[in-house]
Amino acid sequence: MIKRIRKLYRNKFWSSEKRATFLGVKIGYGCDIQAVSFGSEPYLIEKGNHVQITKGTKFFTHGAAWVLREKYPDIDFFGKIRVGDNVYIGNSALILAGVTIGSNVIIAAGSVVTKSVSDNQIVGGNPAKIIGNIEEFEKSILPFNLKTKGKSFSEKREILLSLNENRFIKK
């Protein structure tokens, strides 16, 4: 009973970063971790500095040994997951065992990352594939920089609703 109360307290009052550290995840400074699942071996996960991991992302440090357990009853395998510096992982991404994500990387929402990602890449899809690089991304979005970071909700709303259509990114 006390264990359940402690767990409820941690989930309600601790930040996601504090909970992750408590579970054994190694986290650098300046990170933003939202509602994330670190799986059953969170101590095998390491994050660099300035990493944002958004809601619904899941990390898997093992898996699929079940299909061999009748033949090998004690089989189990694991893979460490490492995330470099200055990384953004979009909503509901799945990161599989043994993956290393380099620095200056964007993982698109909903991606299934089955292989390591080198520095300065943007990946997306299932399975995740390279869809661009950070330099191209920077060039494409700078003309749309509206400099609203740090503005209040109402200030940002007022600015965004007053703009012409050509100030918004179109795909």
Catalytic residues: 62
What Cα–Cα distance (Å) separates residue 71 from each residue in 67, 75, 76, 77? 9, 9, 12, 15
The closest alpha carbon to 96, from 161, 45, 31, 54, belongs to 45
- Contact (CB, 8 A) for 90 and 122: no
Cα distances (Å, whole numbers) of residue 115 to 45, 79, 169:
15, 12, 30
DSSP string, 10-70: HHHHS-HHHHHHHHT-EE-SS-EE-S-B--S-GGGEEE-SSEEE-TT-EE-SB--GGGGTT
Q: How far apart are CA 68 and CA 73, in angstroms?
A: 8
- Quick count: other Cβ atoms within 10 Å of Cβ 27? 20
Tokens 């100030």, residue?
Answer: 167
